């Protein structure tokens, strides 16, 4: 039995797919698709905000607060408020009377005398007023100065004295406090309306 003879005509040849007939275009298309997919996957991260340095830094490397806690100055340390520089030079507690036997004043409790040097660091004269100063005891009670008793010290600089720029005076501020009061701090002011500066007396 004879074998069928293949038909050599073009119509009889099997037709190849479009991709087989256009290899170059197929290859280029595949490259474009790969590039597009890669861009879609990797490009989104470019728009994300960078991580902050604070978030990326380890917890142990957080900067410490460099400003130390403020503490009140003590006796002998100069401090400033407004136009005055104050230096508390000493504290004299337990005084029952100021003045002499004829002209003087007895304490309701006990007088506490705060000796202070005052320097005018401004550029014009300024009054030092003893009544502007305040004392706080260890029980948290605030005491006003007793300017009436200060008059009997025989020292006008302790009551109300004008100090010229660059000059200094030595004064005493008198506080009439209860017998059980222990001084903690004194708040010194260059005027009744200034912020004041605190000095530890303990």
Residue 29 has pLDDT above 80, yes or no: no
Predicted confidence band at 42 (pLDDT cuts at 50, 70, 90)?
A: low
Q: Tell me which of 2.60.40.1080, 2.60.40.1240, 2.30.30.90, 2.60.40.1840 is the CATH number of domain 79-200.
A: 2.60.40.1240
Residue 130 has pLDDT above 50, yes or no: yes
Residue 57: per-residue pLDDT: 45
Residue 191 has pLDDT above 80, yes or no: yes
Predicted confidence band at 108 (pLDDT cuts at 50, 70, 90)?
A: very high
The reply to whether the predicted model has a pTM over 0.75 is no
Would you state the structure tokens that stand for residue 41, as one six-digit string? 């996957």
Q: Residues 186-200: what's their mean pLDDT? A: 95
Q: Where are the domains of the chain?
A: 79-200
Predicted confidence band at 19 (pLDDT cuts at 50, 70, 90)?
A: low
């Amino acid at each position: 039995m004879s074998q069928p003879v293949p038909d050599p005509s073009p119509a009889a040849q099997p037709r190849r797919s479009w991709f087989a007939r256009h290899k170059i275009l197929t290859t280029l298309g595949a490259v474009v698709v790969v590039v597009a997919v890669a861009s879609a996957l990797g490009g989104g991260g470019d728009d994300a905000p960078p991580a902050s340095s604070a978030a990326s830094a380890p917890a142990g490397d957080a900067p410490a607060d460099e400003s130390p806690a403020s503490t009140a100055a003590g006796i002998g340390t100069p401090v400033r408020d407004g136009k005055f520089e104050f230096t508390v030079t000493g504290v004299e507690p337990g005084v029952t009377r100021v003045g002499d036997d004829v002209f003087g004043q007895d304490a309701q409790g006990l007088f506490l005398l705060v000796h202070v040097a005052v320097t005018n660091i401004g550029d014009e004269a300024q009054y030092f007023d003893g009544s502007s100063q305040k004392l706080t005891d260890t029980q948290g009670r605030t005491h006003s100065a007793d300017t009436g008793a200060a008059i009997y010290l025989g020292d006008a600089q302790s009551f109300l004295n004008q100090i010229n720029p660059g000059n200094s005076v030595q004064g005493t501020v008198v506080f009439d406090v209860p017998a059980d009061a222990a001084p903690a701090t004194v708040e010194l002011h260059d005027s009744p309306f200034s912020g004041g500066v605190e000095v530890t007396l303990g």
